[in-house]
Structure formats: C-alpha cells, structure tokens
Structure 1
Amino acid sequence: MSATVESSRKPSMAERRPSMAERRPSVQTGRRPSVIPHLAGIEDPVLPTIPDQCDVLICGTGLVESILAAALAWQGSNVLHVDSNPYYGDTSSTLTIEQIKAWCANVNLNTPGFQGFSKALLYIPRPDQLNSRDYSIDLTPRIMFVKSDLLSLLIKSRVYRYLEFQSISNFHTFENDSFGKMSSSKEEIFTDQSLSLATKRQLMKFMKFVLESESAQIAKELEHYKSIPFTEFIKEKYKLTPAQINELCYTLGLSPTPNILTIEGISRIRRYLTSFDVYGTFPVLYSKFGGPGELSQGFCRSAAVAGATYKLDSQLQSYDSNDKIATFTDGSKVKVTERLVCSPSQAPANAQNVPEKKYEVTRLITIVKKSCKEWFF
C-alpha cells in the first residue's frame, strides 16, 4: 500500500539555476551572531582544492548533514562539507535519468557511498522517447507536513527563498489492484458511502481521541498502552477492520512498518490531522523541483553563503582520531580541529558506530505517459 500523488513536468534544477560551485570560507573576524541575515549571492568560485585545516568536516550532503553544515557555518565555524558523489543530496538526491542509470550500476556493484541501497533495477521500455533532463527523480521521496519543525526551520533560516512548494490535499492508497481515496476529514468520513454508520462513529471517536491526545487525561490513559503495538490498540479500542487500520498506519501515519508502538502511532496521526487548515485545506507540501534533495541543496547554499567550503567527488578513506587527520581517496588530507561528522552511506570501510539498518523499504518509482486522473475516484 502506498500514498500516490500526481506530478507534472517541471524545469530541472539545472535549468532554473546554476549549480553550487565549490568555494572557500570567507575571512573570519569573530563568531557570527545567532541571527541569520538575509541570504545574499554566492561568492565567486575558487579552485576545487581542499583546505589544509577546518573546524568541522562533514561527509555527505543529505538533509541532516546539510542542515548541520548551515547551522555551524552561520555560527562562525570553519566547515568543510564533502560528498563522494558528483551531486548533492547523498541518499536523498534528485537525479536525471542518466544519473539514475549510473546510480543503479553503483548500487549493484556495492560502490562505497551507496551502502544504503540494494537490488536497484531500472526498466525503460522506450528509451528513445525520454529526454533525461526532462525528469527529476527522487531517490527517497518525502513530503513535509505543515505542522513540522522542518517547515519552521526553513522559514527561520530563510532557506525557503530558494525553494518552491506544491500543496497536496488528497491521499490515495493502492490495494487489491485498485486505487482508493483516503477519508481523512469529518466531511469525507460522513459522505463516504463505503463505510457503515458504526464505522463512521468509531473513526470520529478515534480522530477526537488523537486531537486531544496531549491533554492530561488522555496522556494518562495512553500510559496503559505505551508498550502495545499501535495496530492492536486501534483494533481493541475502536474495533476497526484490518483495511482501515492499514490506512491509518501506512497512509496517514506514513509508517514504514506496522510494528510501531501506540504512542508513536498516535503522534504520527496527530501530525497529519493538525496540519490541515494552517495555510489552506491541505496537510502537506512537496518541493516542486526535487523533494529532500532540493531542500539539501537549499541548506548547502545557505552554508556556502556563510563561508562553508564544498567539494564533491571526494570520498573519505580514513580518519586518524589521534592526529585528527582525514585522508581522502585522491590522496588529499585535512586536519580537523573539532569534529568529524559522517553520513552512514559515506563512512569508510573500517568505520565504527555506523547505525544498524532495522528494516528495509521496497520502493517503486514509475514514469507514466498519460494523466493518472482516471485511476482515481
């Protein structure tokens, strides 16, 4: 089961703006204030060399690492931000079809920097009908809830000025070889003729319970269910069918697995419900030109404006924690005076403290020639 949205052809990032060149830090005269000024243009590019020394070395330009780089750079740290790939975004990159072809080959060859993926398959039945740069494909598609810390951060940091968003108001599920629209508001539940009156009442009770879940009374009640799976809680308390439980868990909660505890499940559903009617009749936003990869580039731009140095195609080979010397596969070295931060996908072969993968997600991305409207009802 998956949530499905329809997208249309938009200009690629390369068509809308020039790529971020590698740049060196601005001259530091002291620590910057915590207030981020209005973003200006990028400094003139310099030769693609790695500096001899930096305060913080960050490997991987994923969303988490890019946010960290921008925060540190604006606070005055000398940040060197590298990525083993020739593009930004790490595991959340937005790629053209030609880049996807190379990505699939690297994944299946277990190339360093691609550890987070496996069994990549690309099928193009009519390759002569596709222009590679006409499509931007997200490796890890993500939507952003209106009531989220990330949106607040985008506004506060002014990174949103680099981005454009599309609102998404409808969620559809695919099950039993057909698409179905998810009923997620009071009006939709009441008008859904496929639901019995008893089921509508139970769904309304559940939604009220979720919206009031932060009250002292309900928070105390949830303590009795904190070690019980979310799916069992819904089945026991609200007598919903397996299909409805799946919709709540996977579609509204966007959980990659049903094995989540009740409190986490309630929190996920509440995030969805409270995001309605904040900026309009929609709960989520999607970056028009590249999902999380686009957001990563936005924060990288902000970090570059603040003086961070960027270099792509740079794979970390080893790090000597005693001498604090980082060595790259091209032979270059840099002394790290404070901290090394590394994405799991960019970690060297002998790295320690790499988090274990708890589950796998199977993802299918399809490009269709005609409109998808006729699939939905």
Structure 2
Amino acid sequence: MEALSESTWDVVICGTGLQQSMLALALSRSGKKILHVDPNKYYGGPDAALSLQELEGWAAAHSSSDEQQAGQAVFSNSRIIRNDGAGKTKKKLSFPRAYSLALSPQIIYTRSELLAQLVSSKAFSQVEFQAVGSFYIFRPASTAAAAAAEEEEEEGEEVGSEEGQQEQGQRQRQKPSLARIPSTREDVFSTTAIPSRSKRHLMKFLKFVIDYEAEEQSGTWKPNADEPLAEFLRSQFKLNEELIGYILALTLRLDAPNVSTREGLAVIRRHLTSMGMFGPGFAAVYPKWGGMGEIAQVACRAQAVGGGVYVLGTGVRGTKVPNAAKYEEVEVELSSDTVVKTRLLVQGAGDNMATDGQKMSRLVAIVSSPLDSLFETVVEGAPLPVVAVVAFTQGSVPSPEGSSFEQPILTTVHSSDTGECPAGQSVIYLSTLSCPGASEALDSALSSLLEATAEEGEGAECLFKVVYEQLVSSGTPIDEGRTFTFPPSPAAIAYEDDVLSQVRRAWEKAMGASTKDEEVEYMVFADREAIGDDDVGS
C-alpha cells in the first residue's frame, strides 16, 4: 500500500458503482494515472449482484433502522426471510453461489445512450445482453371480471338471462390475471384484454406519441407540458382509467401518477421506438450474470487494461486540501491508513452525503417455479425473453386492512437464463416508493403475482426474500473543485440516460483542457491491438 503514496494521481475514483465504472471506462485510454478503490470486496457498489452468502453479510451490514444513520446510507432496513423447505412441496434453495441477486436491477432500452457508449468504447462485446419480453399490467379479479362484462356487452351478448347470470358469477370468482400491455399496432388489434371501442382511442394516442415532437403536434401537448400525463390523456384522447393505467405503466416510473406530460411522452416514445430495433419482439435488454453490475465490472477491467490500479476493500476516510490558494491537489486518506495525493477525487453517494432523503422500498424473492408463461415469445423469430415486467397500478394491490395501496409497484421477473438462479426457479424484484405500509404492500403484490401466474393445481412457493430500502435522488452531482460526488440513482427500473451526462461532466473535469482537442472524443475508442477478448473486460 505504501507505493500508492509515492506519486500524485490524476484521478482517484472511490466506488465501483455504474457511474464511477463508466467514468473509469471513459478514462481508460486517456494515459492518466488512475487509482480506483472500493470499500467493498466486490465490484458494482449499489449496482452489484451478490450470491446468497454475500447477501447475508450485506444485509447484516445494512440492517440499521436508526433514522440518522439510515438517512445517510444508500441502503438501510435490510432483512432476510428464508422459507425454503417450509412449503407444501418442501422445495429448497440450491447452494449459495448458484444465485446472483442484483441490488438495483434495471432494464436497458435498445435506444439507450448507454448501449451506444458501450458500442463506441468497444466494451459491448464483453457483455452478453438478453431480451426483455412482454410488459404486463396486473388486473385484480374484479377488474378482469368487469372488463369481460364490458366486452360481452359490446358484442351484444345477453347478460340478463339465467345463462348470462351464471357467466357473471363465474367472472366474479375469477382469479387475478396479467394483461399484456400492447406496444405496437398489431398488439392493439390482437389483444383481448381491451374492448374494441377503447382500442380506437389507444391507437390514436400511440400514433400521436411517435411523432409528438413534430411541429404540427406541439400545439396539442405543449400547453399542457407540465400538467400530469394522466390529465392530458383524459382531456385530449378521452382515455378511460384502465387505458390510462396501461400508459402510465409504460413510463416504468414509481411516481407514475405524477409524471408530467413532457416527461411521460418522452419515455413512452422511447419504449415504442425501441421495439424491434435489435430484433423482433423486444424493446429492452438485460445483461446476463449480474445486470448493471456486470457492466460495471467490464468497465473497470477495461480501465485496468489501460493501466489503472484497483484496490478493493479500501475506501476513503477523509480528504484535505493542503494549499487552498493554489488548489492543485487534494490529500485523500484511505481506510488502509495510506494517504495519497490526487488532482481529482470522484466518489459516489454514501455515508455523510446530504440528500433529500427520498427512498424506495425493495423486495427480492426467489420462487420455486420457472414461471414459464411469462417468458413466451409472442412474435415469430423473436429471441426467448429472460425478463418480464409487471406493473401494479395504484389501488390494484390490497392492503392487510382491506384497503388499497395507493402507489404503483413495479416488478421484473427474471428466469434462470439470466444466470441469477438455478433452472426451475425464478427471481422476482419488486419496488415502490417508501411510505407507511410499503413493505406489506410489496408482500401483497408478490402473493398476487404468484396467484395470477399459478398453473392449474400447482403454484409457486417463495423460498427466500430480502427486503430493504434504497436512497434515490433526481439531484445533480456535488462539484467542489477537486472533489466530485455523484448523487444516488433515480427511482426507476429502466436505466435513465440523464445519469450518463453526469459521468461526462466528471470526465471533462478530469481531462481538463484536452477535451478541446479534436482527436479526443468521449467514449469513442479504436480496437485495441494485440489484446484478445479474454483480456479486456472479461
């Protein structure tokens, strides 16, 4: 460790979360002296994927419910519940390293700038991307029954007869279900979950949103740009509450009811235009073996090939600017008691960082079923999907008291093909904004999802659960001269490209005047010579 203090580093990066790792990738061909440390003994930081054994230690370290301490840490209030071997079928978990559970799983739209940067930096070939399949909306039994009645009424079926009354009784006893959210013209026409009259309204909106930025369309939405998207859909497109729920679900935002028209139209368009970009039947991808943590590792290893020095299990204890007038370097005291000098210190959100305190509640569950019905291809020639998205709209999840949970819950279901669990099992990730009753609502949503996907005579059992809270933010980095701190990630299950602008800002700060050189392009690299695939980011 003493050798680290013998010279001045151009950049010291603390943490191997996705933002710090993408910065490391951006600097990997810069020729600068980079020291990259992480207080954890694994890569990925808040984006890491952990085995069950690693998760046990992680949960113990982040179990605090103390308001002051929990308010400063990215993760808090974590606890693990094991149920393996306790169900009717006595099914059990496999060995700990058979699992790789992501702390902050996010899907990546095919039109994401993140994918474009991985391609231009030549890092993409080191990540195996898999297709995200269908997007579903959860329908309680009462909603499914009402929709069926409306469809029959449109078709002119008699519901007042004895036969009709029997059918109504059957509908009332229906179990909850999942309805696929249509994302293309063909989807809208083929779905049976939406009555015919509603399809026409939905088609009108989908056609509009594809070209909503065109000059002739601007008069429709710009006067309402800052009002909630839901109000815009009611007033301009006459959509009913169920269709509004479908569209808000596609924003993949935990604050969907409050999403503005400006924000909502942009993310819906991203979804629709991503469909089919890399192949039929999918609009998003997911990195195999560890989600965003896999990308972080690839980025860090590219920096290591470029000459960067990596030290895991070592963090930053404190900083000192010895000469504030010249402000040429900062002294960084590492947790190993070593003091290093650097021209720039970059770190991520963590202890002692002031934040707005907004949190999201998460539940990760391992279940005893492959849930095959969620991973079917619906378009000829499409790849087999490994992730399905399920949205619970506000009010669709019952609370233990019999009322409804008035916040959206977003869920991604991952098959064993992601490498996150053994064959025959699935991993379910559920998220909602933290509030009183959020933990109970996530449990209720999990139970409802398993009921909706249960095969005849056999349902999935939950073998393992971990629940925790995560600090989130829509804030900006803290730039204090020679130190630069990334804020926590936004509350979203789809990667937000706005986060990458913060990485570029840190890169420009590290590169200084050289960014004006025409030959210096951000994240654009030629192929490395004499280095094979196994040497870069593997």
TM-score (ref. length: structure 2): 0.57
Cα RMSD between the aligned structures? 2.4
Q: Which residue of 1 aligns with 2:289?
A: 289
Segment drifting more, 92-101 vs 328-337: 328-337
Q: How far 1:87 moved relative to its partner?
A: 0.5
Distance in 1 (CA, whole Å) between partners of 2:245 and 2:333 is 48
Q: 1:101 corresponds to which letter in structure 2?
A: E
* Structure 2 residue 270 is matched with structure 1 residue 271: yes
Alpha-carbon contact 1:190-1:200 (below 8 Å) kept: yes
In structure 2, relative to structure 1, the CA distance for the partners of 1:312 and 1:122 (3 Å cut) is same
Residue aligning to 1:331: 337
CA distance in 2, matches of 1:298, 1:331: 29
Matched, 1:172 2:171: no
Q: Would the alpha carbon gap of residues 78 and 246 (structure 1) be closer, same or farther in structure 2, given more than 3 Å must change?
A: farther
Distance 2:48 2:192 in 1: 41
Counterparts of 1:93-104 in structure 2 under 5 Å? 93-104=48-59
Alignment partner of 2:60 out of 102, 105, 129: 105
Q: Give the Å deviation of 1:126.
A: 2.1
The letter of the residue matching 2:260 is L
Q: Offset at 1:81?
A: 1.2
Tell me the SS of whatever aligns to 1:365: strand
Change (3 A) 1:73 1:51: farther
Q: Which deviates the most, 284-293 or 166-175?
A: 166-175
Instruction: Name which of 78, 82, 96 aligns with 2:37.
Output: 82
2:341 corresponds to 1:341: no
2:97 to 125, 129, 133: 133
Structure number with the higher strand fraction is 2
Corresponding position: 1:233 with 2:238? no
| Partner Cα distance (1:179, 1:103) in 2 | 33
Give the corresponding residue for 2:253: 255
- Percent sequence identity over aligned pairs: 31
Q: Does 1:150 align with 2:105?
A: no
Query: Which amino acid is 2:43 matched to?
Result: Y
Select 1:115's aligned residue among 55, 73, 83.
Answer: 73
| Displacement of 1:109 | 3.4
1:186-228: CA deviations, max 9, x gaps? 1121122231222111111111111001212223433211211
Question: Given that residues 70 and 302 in structure 1 are in contact (C-alpha distance below 8 angstroms), is that contact kept between their aligned partners in structure 2?
Answer: yes
* Range 241-250 or range 202-211, more displaced: 241-250
Summarize deviations over 1:292-321 as a string: whole Å, max 9, x none.
Answer: 000111111111111111111112111113
Partner residue, 1:188: 187
Name the larger-Rg structure: 2
Displacement of 1:268 after TM fit?
0.5
Displacement of 1:139 in angstroms is 0.4
Whole-angstrom distance in 2 between the partners of 1:77 and 1:204: 53
TM-score between the two structures when normalised by the length of structure 1:
0.80
- Paired with 1:124 and 1:307, the residues of 2 have a C-alpha distance of 43
Bigger mean CA offset, 294-303 vs 114-123: 114-123
Partner of 2:371: 372
Kept in 1: contact 2:132–2:286 (CA 8 A): yes
Distance (whole Å) between structure 1 residues aligned to residue 181 and residue 454 of structure 2: 11
Q: 1:162 aligns with which of 112, 117, 126?
A: 126
Higher mean displacement: 234-243 or 108-117: 108-117
Helix, strand or coil at the partner of 1:304:
helix
Structure with greater contact order relative to length (CA < 8 Å, sep ≥ 6): 1
- For structure 1, list consecutive stretches of 5 or more residues without a partner in the other structure: 1-46
Alpha-carbon offset, residue 355 of structure 1: 4.1
Q: How many residues of Structure 1 are paired with residues of Structure 2 in the alignment?
A: 323
Paired position in structure 1 for 2:24:
69
Find the residue that maps to 2:27 and give its secondary structure: helix
Deviation string for 1:121-147 (max 9, x for gaps)?
Answer: 211212763211101100011111111
1:83 Cα shift?
1.1
Contact kept? 1:171, 1:182, Cα under 8 Å: yes
